[in-house]
Homo-oligomer: A and B are copies of this chain.
Amino acid sequence: MIIKMKKDASLEAVNRVLDYIQEEGFSIKDVSSERVKIYGVIGDTSKLEARDFYAFTAVGEVIRIQAPYKKASREFQALDTRIDLGDGVVIGGDQHVVMTGPCSVENETQMMTIGAFMQKHNLKILRGGAFKPRTSPYAFQGLGEEGLKLMRKVADTFGLKVISEVPSVSAIPMFEQYVDIIQVGARNMQNFHLLKALGKTRKPIFLKRGLSATIEEWLMSAEYIMDGGNDQVILCERGIRTFERYTRNTLDISAVLAIKELSHLPIIIDPSHASGRYKMVDPLAQAALAVGAHGQMIEIHPEPEKALSDGAQSLTLERFERLLTHLQPLADVLGKTIT
């Protein structure tokens, strides 16, 4: 951490800062030029908040050099984290996992159709919303526990794993009972109360990036979970908010590369939420595979026009089958196995 003092700071005010730093157990290097006093703070500064130093009247600018996250960082762990879900499904290695399913779990027919379809195509991870976070209180809010039960039943029938979004701390025990991966939605990325509680479960966590979150903030949220004791975190880029309105969000495809440089955690892309338009999902899925993501999450629905939520971005089973035929030859070229 580098601290630049104000030009007109008194010696006494500067010393108050330096004393504080030393009391906290850090050492100091002087990098001052003739015009301005600058100090380097040496030690494990991940425990310091840069902003707090601005309370000192002498401080002009504080610049963090060490990342504020630790356990999530590539420096802390050089090797890629691999999350083994059993039955040969591993996220974070050479498999390119294609999670799929409907936005909302609606009824048994819908889910059984999808389960059979997935089995046929050798796909392993079933997604589906049972508790839906909707911006309108008047919109369909999901089937609740009924939905989770249904997913579990379908998964057990067809040999699948289940992922679903948890709405709150109090629902965690229920989720532990039914699902294999617990999803944290974009709007809960900084629900620190929830993150802490998820640090205590033994289920892998699927952490969606917040709507306007920076990569650093996202990794800090992973850090919360890991610091709580659960190092099974999967990151999911699902589009960020930009000025562009033609797409629902803007897929930040470079985030895959940034995460791979900064962290050892697996990174998945969600082209359905990122674009919000079913026509874009197929080419974006190809790009996601080409750029090196560890997998994707794609929404499908047997009859999108009758979906109770997000039909706009759901593929029909026919379109999704076509998508798979596009991914396969690319995966072959790139040396990846689609799961």
Decide: A193 near B168, CB < 8 A? Known: A2-B2, A254-B251, A276-B51: yes
Q: Is A31 located at the chain interface by the 8 A CB criterion?
A: yes
A side interface size, CB within 8 A: 110
Closest B residue by C-beta to A224: B137
**Contacting pair A250 B252 (CB below 8 A):** yes
Residues of B within 8 A of A311 (CB): 52, 54-56
Complex Cα gap A250–B61 (Å): 19
Q: Is A122 located at the chain interface by the 8 A CB criterion?
A: no
Taking Cβ atoms with an 8 Å cutoff, the residues of A that contact B are 2, 4, 7, 16, 20, 29-31, 33, 36, 38, 40, 42-43, 46-47, 49, 51-57, 61, 63, 65-66, 68, 75, 131, 133-139, 167-170, 187-188, 190-194, 196, 211-217, 220, 223-224, 227-228, 240-248, 250-258, 261-262, 274-277, 279-280, 283-284, 286-292, 304-307, 309-314, 329-330, 333
15 contacts between A and B (CB under 8 A): A2-B2, A2-B31, A40-B40, A47-B138, A51-B276, A135-B217, A137-B196, A167-B193, A212-B212, A242-B242, A242-B250, A243-B243, A253-B284, A283-B290, A330-B330
Complex Cα gap A333–B214 (Å): 35
Residues of B within 8 A of A42 (CB): 31, 33
**Contacting pair A40 B43 (CB below 8 A):** no
**Contacting pair A250 B247 (CB below 8 A):** no
Closest B residue by C-beta to A291: B287
Complex Cα gap A307–B56 (Å): 10
**Contacting pair A283 B279 (CB below 8 A):** no
Min CB–CB distance A302 → chain B (angstroms): 12
**Contacting pair A312 B54 (CB below 8 A):** yes
Decide: A191 near B188, CB < 8 A? Known: A46-B138, A139-B49: yes
**Contacting pair A284 B254 (CB below 8 A):** yes
Known A167-B193, A251-B253, A257-B279; further 9 A-B contacts with Cβ < 8 A: A31-B31, A49-B139, A52-B307, A68-B136, A137-B196, A241-B243, A244-B255, A244-B258, A246-B262
**Contacting pair A214 B244 (CB below 8 A):** yes
Complex Cα gap A223–B138 (Å): 10
Residues of B within 8 A of A290 (CB): 283, 286-287, 289-290, 330
Decide: A220 near B135, CB < 8 A? Known: A244-B214, A305-B16: yes
**Contacting pair B134 A277 (CB below 8 A):** no
Closest B residue by C-beta to A244: B214
